[in-house]
């Protein structure tokens, strides 16, 4: 059992590494990988998951992948910006105007009434996180006074949703949108539609469900048969019959059916045209007069494509990002903030993940993911130290470097020099494990430096030292 476990774990790791999707793995979602692994690695067991449920688990897995990875690898934008992109590709959206304060909010509401005739408005907090409705970040205003009142409440609030950090996120802007849930000839209905990349098949896919407006993870967990997918062949693109199948599976007919076909087509064009890695529209609304439109928009643009999407690059909102991560990015370090207490400094993403496993097996939680890259010289090591130490939860730092291209003695010298430079600032134990070219010389260098740095050559040794240092 254990053997199978590791085998599949490694396979998944490889998949993760090659897809540069390391980050999901990092963010507690190890859990999901493991569920999948456990499923896969029980040969001849009683549990024989049907193909369908395996697919759903894969989807769920993929889903969490995307959700977690996007923060760094993928640029996140606000709902109002996502809707601008959608509208520019001809996707019908709930009309809205962004406002920075209550005065602007009222002006926006007046303009909306002039343009659309709406007399009710929705005030929507603009933060890089979903679930705003549940947290009190989306509210209906039935007149201009209520627009003022609700905007005053929401702008500046610390909005806590299931997708924000526990302390929530400060709201700086609101979107004043037309009310699209007006009564009419038929009932309104809400759907879920997203376009994303299925890394397992290397194809884009449309994932959709009749259960709109709800948390899609919940739907995947409790009613997976209500989630449908449509894979798109990259050679021919989205085909008409596929868009019609989406509309059909969503139970639409008549004008709403035609509108949905157009909606899906335009949405897919927007996804491709903007080099996005995810478009999630939840809910897509069928109005009481059978129009189909996007009420919400969660859009992630692929970082690697920003050089050719300057318009979208400008949409980045640094206020929404983790400040330590922003700083690390500026100095070229690949850093992800996590919740644990053991800071890590590692070269190479794969080794970084293995190191985090090591920390977990020793009974602790990693405080971060940090890949210093190939050139671990004194300057870089020092910068990395400073970044790691900005996190007040760090109680120990584990440096785990494999000297392949870079020589271990150089790294060791770098660590010693950095320590000398910052001596007083470092108040936590440092454990250094160097392996590879000149590892022995490196260990000697550290042991003879007179600095309180613990050195190790073997992986296990390093783990034991972390344990000793923290208990």
Q: 293: helix, coil or strand?
A: strand
Q: Report DSSP state, residue 359.
A: H
Q: Does 282 bind Mn ion (CB under 5 A)?
A: yes
Residue 394 C-beta: closest distance to ligand GDP, Å: 32
User: What's the N-to-C CA distance of the chain in angstroms?
Assistant: 31
Residue 280 annotated as catalytic: yes
Which of 175-183, 242-250, 332-340, 424-432 is the region at the interface with ligand GDP (rule: CB under 6 A)?
A: 175-183
In the structure encoding, which two tokens stand for residue 44, read together?
């001849």
Residue among 27, 56, 92, 132 that touches ligand GDP (CB under 6 A): 132
d(CA 334, CA 371) in angstroms, rounded, equals: 5
Among ligand GDP, Mn ion, none, residue 52 binds (CB under 5-8 Å by kind): none
Which of 31-39, 232-240, 279-287, 369-377 is the region at the interface with Mn ion (rule: CB under 5 A)?
A: 279-287
Q: Does 168 bind ligand GDP (CB under 6 A)?
A: no
Is 57 within 8 Å of 31 (Cβ atoms)?
no
Peptide bond into 378 cis (omega under 30): no
Q: Does 265 bind Mn ion (CB under 5 A)?
A: no
d(CA 408, CA 419) in angstroms, rounded, equals: 16
Element (H, E) at 192: strand 189-198
In the complex with Mn ion, the residue whose CB is nearer, 300 or 341, is 300
In the structure encoding, which two tokens stand for residue 235, read together?
């050679």
**CA atoms within a 13 Å half-sphere pointing along the CA-CB vector of 96:** 31
Q: Does 296 bind Mn ion (CB under 5 A)?
A: yes
Q: Does 209 bind Mn ion (CB under 5 A)?
A: no
Among Mn ion, ligand GDP, none, residue 136 binds (CB under 5-8 Å by kind): none
Q: Does 180 bind ligand GDP (CB under 6 A)?
A: yes
In the complex with ligand GDP, the residue whose CB is nearer, 120 or 459, is 120
Closest CA to 278 of 193, 191, 169, 174: 193
Q: Does 140 bind ligand GDP (CB under 6 A)?
A: yes
In the complex with ligand GDP, the residue whose CB is nearer, 140 or 468, is 140
In the structure encoding, which two tokens stand for residue 378, read together?
């004194």
Interface with Mn ion by CB under 5 A: which residues? 282, 296
Please give the positions annotated as active site.
192, 280
Interface with ligand GDP by CB under 6 A: which residues? 122, 124, 130-133, 138, 140, 179-181, 213, 282-283, 295-296
């Amino acid at each position: 059992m254990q053997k199978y476990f590791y085998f599949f774990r490694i396979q998944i790791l490889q998949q993760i590494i090659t897809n540069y999707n390391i980050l999901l793995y990092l963010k507690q979602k190890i859990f999901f990988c493991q569920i999948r692994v456990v499923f896969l690695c029980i040969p001849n067991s009683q549990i024989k998951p049907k193909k369908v449920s395996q697919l759903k688990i894969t989807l769920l897995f993929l889903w969490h992948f995307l959700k977690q990875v996007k923060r760094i690898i993928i640029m996140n934008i606000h709902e109002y910006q996502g809707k601008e992109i959608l509208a520019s590709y001809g996707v019908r959206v709930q009309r809205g105007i962004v406002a920075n304060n209550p005065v602007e909010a009222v002006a926006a509401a007046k303009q909306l009434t002039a343009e659309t005739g709406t007399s009710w408005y929705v005030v929507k907090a603009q933060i890089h996180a979903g679930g705003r409705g549940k947290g009190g970040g989306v509210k209906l205003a039935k007149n201009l006074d209520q627009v003022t009142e609700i905007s005053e409440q929401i702008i500046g609030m610390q909005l806590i949703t299931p997708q924000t950090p526990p302390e929530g996120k400060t709201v700086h802007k609101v979107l004043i949108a037309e009310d699209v849930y007006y009564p009419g000839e038929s009932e309104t209905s809400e759907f879920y539609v997203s376009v994303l990349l299925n890394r397992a098949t290397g194809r884009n896919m449309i994932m959709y469900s009749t259960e709109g407006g709800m948390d899609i993870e919940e739907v995947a967990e409790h009613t997976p048969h209500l989630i449908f997918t449509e894979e798109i062949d990259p050679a021919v693109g989205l085909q008409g019959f596929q868009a019609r199948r989406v509309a059909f599976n969503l139970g639409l007919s008549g004008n709403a059916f035609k509108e949905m076909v157009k909606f899906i087509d335009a949405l897919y064009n927007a996804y491709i045209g903007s080099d996005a890695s995810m478009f999630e529209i939840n809910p897509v609304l069928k109005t009481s007069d059978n129009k189909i439109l996007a009420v919400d928009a969660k859009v992630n643009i692929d970082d690697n494509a920003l050089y050719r999407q300057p318009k979208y690059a400008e949409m980045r909102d640094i206020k929404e990002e983790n400040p330590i991560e922003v700083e690390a990015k500026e100095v070229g370090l690949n850093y992800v903030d996590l919740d644990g207490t053991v800071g890590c400094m590692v070269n190479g993403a794969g080794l970084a993940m293995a190191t985090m496993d090591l920390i977990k097996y020793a009974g602790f939680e990693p405080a971060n993911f940090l890949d210093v890259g190939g050139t671990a010289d004194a300057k870089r090591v020092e910068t990395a130290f400073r970044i790691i130490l900005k996190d007040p939860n760090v109680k120990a730092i584990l440096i785990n470097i494999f000297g392949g291209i870079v020589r271990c003695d150089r790294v060791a010298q770098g660590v010693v020099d950095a320590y000398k430079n910052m001596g007083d600032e470092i108040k936590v134990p440092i454990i250094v494990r160097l392996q590879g070219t000149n590892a022995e010389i490196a260990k000697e260098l550290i042991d003879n430096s007179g600095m309180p740095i613990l050195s190790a050559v073997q992986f296990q040794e390093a783990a034991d030292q972390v344990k000793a240092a923290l208990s």
